[in-house]
Structure 1
């Protein structure tokens, strides 16, 4: 059974009078994510990746089709079901600044899911916060800092720690490491790999960087204009074959582009 799935999911953003007209962000998208699997979703900006992420996380509802968790449609969920779903599926956004309350300290930001989703407060919550900060390579004294006192990369790691606080079964990472430098990207991928190994965490890794997908993921989906246009497994002589997939693969610079140009 799939852990999380979309079945014919479509999303239209209405912009005309009485809801007429609009832009189709997703057009009959179907996908499955199995327990313990890491799936990459590739595509250029504006192709519908973030819209799909919000639907899969239950933040928006599809205009057609459905999203299913552990075989059940989200449309049938009651209050207790939603609480369990919020623990199981966490979304980390691309822009960490808009994803946090600027008036809360790092400790308060990470404590929120601990309190609301796991019922942890006081000493128990503080211990968890400190462990989560260590996991994302932030110092213990970051607990008392405000978001504006952190770099963009540090704040993104706070958002990752907050998502991990819920002890999720699935992390949806919407360009979540794109603001980190190469060293921290590798460090975060190592952390995600450890969680995958130790806790059987699944991932939907939304990115435009094919190199990150190749390093970390089991399977790659390619999106173009609101549709999934290709699916392939990672490994061996990995190559994308759809026009959109080839365009993404061709956009990757070689390790030493200047040297290659001279050699040619």
Structure 2
């Protein structure tokens, strides 16, 4: 049985004008997929293709217009309140913009402990111990629990967001462009960190990205999305076999390591 799956998932956004007119935009159209226990999957696509909407649908942050999301074979619509809380504990998400995803007035310790207040029956002392463990897990000093987001670098703050997502011991971690705001070195360092955590815990990961360079480093399976649909799938070791125009466009968007010469002038 898959951990989480989608069946014929469709989602439309409705906007209304000041004159009373309405307009619908289809962000996700008739998507079916499965993610198994401990699996690492990359969802690859250009900005605006609907991949972030799909990620939010899978973790229950949005309700689909049509189709259904299933957790361990059961539709999210059929879950009781207690079962839905269990699903929220099992599926956690790390967002792209870590400053926007954190409250600047809270300490790092409070930020990381936030899911524990709602999803885990721990005492205050147990939450503090869990925060210390999580900081060590994402390779940050325990003393950073007393710092505030404005005192941290971008890479450190993204690690705090990863620690927060790991707090309730999830079984699936959804990373929505979670390293795209970092430079190339920090992207590699952060993905290596997540890979070590995944190896140690057996957690499944869905890595949402537009950057083909990062996919082979991290995921075992790649899904390509374009205009709200899944258009191609391949093992990460066979990225050269991706043939859909959307896949070729992503490959061609990668800059060469050194600029080519222009008009006969050497680079």
Q: Shared fold by TM > 0.5?
A: yes
Rounded to whole Å, the distance in 1 between the matches of 2:189 and 2:197 is: 13
Q: 3-state SS of the aligned residue for 2:6?
A: strand
* Cα distance per residue 1:111-167 (max 9 Å; x no partner): 112232122233322222122112223222221122222222222111111001111
Structure 2 unaligned blocks of 5 or more: none
Q: Note the C-alpha offset of 1:32.
A: 0.8
Q: Indicate which of 156, 160, 164 corresponds to 2:158.
A: 156
Structure 1 unaligned blocks of 5 or more: none
Rounded to whole Å, the distance in 1 between the matches of 2:142 and 2:199 is: 26
Please report the TM-score for the alignment, with normalisation by the length of structure 1.
0.92
Rounded to whole Å, the distance in 2 between the matches of 1:118 and 1:2 is: 24
Bigger CA drift: 60-69 or 238-247? 238-247
Compared CA separation, residues 21 and 234, structure 1 to 2 (3 A) = same
Bigger CA drift: 228-237 or 83-92? 228-237
Q: Which residue pairs with 1:223 in the alignment?
A: 225
Alignment of 1:202-213 (within 5 A): 202-213=204-215
Rounded to whole Å, the distance in 2 between the matches of 1:262 and 1:77 is: 64
CA contact (8 A) 1:37 1:202 kept: yes
* Cα distance per residue 1:9-66 (max 9 Å; x no partner): 1111111378843111111111111111111011111110111111001000000000
| 1:70 maps to 2:88 | no
Q: Note the C-alpha offset of 1:177.
A: 1.4
Rounded to whole Å, the distance in 1 between the matches of 2:119 and 2:210 is: 32
Q: 3-state SS of the aligned residue for 1:21?
A: strand
The size of the alignment, in residue pairs, is 264
Q: Say what the alpha-carbon RMSD is for the aligned residues.
A: 2.2
| 1:133 maps to 2:135 | yes
CA contact (8 A) 1:172 1:206 kept: yes
CA contact (8 A) 1:115 1:121 kept: no
Rounded to whole Å, the distance in 2 between the matches of 1:33 and 1:77 is: 19
